[in-house]
Protein backbone atom coordinates (compact mmCIF):
# COMPACT_ATOMS: atom_id res chain seq x y z
CA UNK A 1 0.00 0.00 0.00
CA UNK A 2 1.17 3.53 -0.76
CA UNK A 3 0.78 5.09 2.70
CA UNK A 4 1.52 8.63 1.54
CA UNK A 5 -1.36 8.32 -0.95
CA UNK A 6 -3.57 6.91 1.81
CA UNK A 7 -2.60 9.81 4.09
CA UNK A 8 -3.50 12.23 1.27
CA UNK A 9 -6.87 10.50 0.72
CA UNK A 10 -7.69 10.72 4.43
CA UNK A 11 -6.58 14.36 4.73
CA UNK A 12 -8.83 15.27 1.79
CA UNK A 13 -11.72 13.27 3.26
CA UNK A 14 -11.37 14.86 6.70
CA UNK A 15 -11.14 18.33 5.17
CA UNK A 16 -14.25 17.95 3.00
CA UNK A 17 -16.45 15.61 5.03
CA UNK A 18 -15.54 16.19 8.70
CA UNK A 19 -14.76 19.87 9.06
CA UNK A 20 -16.22 19.87 12.58
CA UNK A 21 -13.80 17.17 13.76
CA UNK A 22 -10.58 18.96 14.72
CA UNK A 23 -8.38 15.95 15.42
CA UNK A 24 -8.57 12.23 16.08
CA UNK A 25 -7.27 8.70 15.63
CA UNK A 26 -8.77 5.91 13.52
CA UNK A 27 -7.63 2.36 12.83
CA UNK A 28 -7.26 1.27 9.23
CA UNK A 29 -8.41 -2.13 7.97
CA UNK A 30 -4.83 -3.36 7.92
CA UNK A 31 -4.01 -4.77 11.39
CA UNK A 32 -1.69 -2.58 13.46
CA UNK A 33 -2.00 0.44 11.14
CA UNK A 34 -3.71 3.61 12.36
CA UNK A 35 -4.18 7.20 11.25
CA UNK A 36 -3.70 10.29 13.37
CA UNK A 37 -5.32 13.32 11.80
CA UNK A 38 -6.01 16.97 12.36
CA UNK A 39 -8.34 19.44 10.73
CA UNK A 40 -6.87 22.54 12.31
CA UNK A 41 -5.25 24.76 9.66
CA UNK A 42 -1.88 23.06 9.22
CA UNK A 43 -0.73 25.41 6.46
CA UNK A 44 -1.32 28.64 8.36
CA UNK A 45 -1.14 27.78 12.06
CA UNK A 46 2.35 27.50 13.52
CA UNK A 47 0.94 25.75 16.61
CA UNK A 48 -0.57 23.01 14.45
CA UNK A 49 2.74 22.46 12.66
CA UNK A 50 4.43 22.27 16.08
CA UNK A 51 1.82 19.73 17.19
CA UNK A 52 2.68 17.56 14.17
CA UNK A 53 6.41 18.00 14.81
CA UNK A 54 5.89 16.77 18.37
CA UNK A 55 4.01 13.73 17.08
CA UNK A 56 6.86 12.93 14.68
CA UNK A 57 9.32 13.29 17.58
CA UNK A 58 7.23 11.07 19.85
CA UNK A 59 6.95 8.43 17.14
CA UNK A 60 10.72 8.46 16.65
CA UNK A 61 11.44 8.26 20.38
CA UNK A 62 9.04 5.36 20.94
CA UNK A 63 9.88 3.44 17.75
CA UNK A 64 6.44 3.92 16.20
CA UNK A 65 6.89 3.76 12.44
CA UNK A 66 5.48 6.67 10.45
CA UNK A 67 4.39 5.16 7.17
CA UNK A 68 2.90 8.21 5.47
CA UNK A 69 2.04 11.87 5.92
CA UNK A 70 0.07 14.37 3.84
CA UNK A 71 -2.05 17.51 3.92
CA UNK A 72 -5.26 18.09 1.99
CA UNK A 73 -5.11 19.30 -1.62
CA UNK A 74 -7.36 22.30 -1.10
CA UNK A 75 -5.82 24.64 1.46
CA UNK A 76 -3.54 22.52 3.63
CA UNK A 77 -6.02 22.76 6.49
CA UNK A 78 -6.22 19.03 7.24
CA UNK A 79 -3.29 16.67 7.78
CA UNK A 80 -2.97 12.95 8.41
CA UNK A 81 -0.21 10.65 9.55
CA UNK A 82 -0.32 6.88 8.95
CA UNK A 83 1.52 4.95 11.67
CA UNK A 84 2.25 1.36 12.57
CA UNK A 85 0.66 1.26 16.02
CA UNK A 86 -2.44 -0.54 17.22
CA UNK A 87 -2.54 1.16 20.63
CA UNK A 88 -5.28 3.68 19.88
CA UNK A 89 -5.42 4.92 23.47
CA UNK A 90 -1.71 5.78 23.40
CA UNK A 91 -2.09 7.56 20.05
CA UNK A 92 -5.06 9.55 21.36
CA UNK A 93 -3.14 10.51 24.48
CA UNK A 94 -0.12 11.62 22.44
CA UNK A 95 -2.34 13.65 20.09
CA UNK A 96 -3.98 15.30 23.10
CA UNK A 97 -0.63 16.02 24.76
CA UNK A 98 0.91 17.35 21.54
CA UNK A 99 -2.06 19.69 21.04
CA UNK A 100 -1.87 21.08 24.57
CA UNK A 101 1.92 21.32 24.51
CA UNK A 102 1.99 23.07 21.12
CA UNK A 103 -0.57 25.59 22.33
CA UNK A 104 1.46 26.35 25.47
CA UNK A 105 -1.10 24.86 27.83
CA UNK A 106 1.30 22.34 29.44
CA UNK A 107 4.43 20.36 28.83
CA UNK A 108 4.16 16.58 28.60
CA UNK A 109 6.53 14.73 30.92
CA UNK A 110 6.68 11.31 29.30
CA UNK A 111 5.93 9.68 25.97
CA UNK A 112 6.74 6.15 27.11
CA UNK A 113 5.07 3.28 25.33
CA UNK A 114 5.98 -0.25 24.45
CA UNK A 115 7.41 -0.59 20.97
CA UNK A 116 4.64 -0.96 18.39
The domain of 95 spans 3-102
> 10: domain CATH number?
3.30.70.260
With respect to residue 42, please indicate whether it lies within any of the assigned structural domains: yes
Residue 13 lies inside a defined structural domain of this protein: yes
* Residue range 51-79: mean pLDDT, rounded: 95
pLDDT of residue 62: 93
What is the DSSP secondary-structure string of 14-46? HHHH-TT--EEEEE-SSTTEEEEEEES-TTT-H
- Residue 116 above 50 pLDDT? no
Tally of domains within the chain: 1
pTM for the predicted model, two decimal places: 0.87
Amino acid sequence: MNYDAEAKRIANYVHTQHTEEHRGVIPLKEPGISVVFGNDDYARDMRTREQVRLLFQDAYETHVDILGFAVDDDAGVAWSMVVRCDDLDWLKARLHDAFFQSHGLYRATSVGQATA
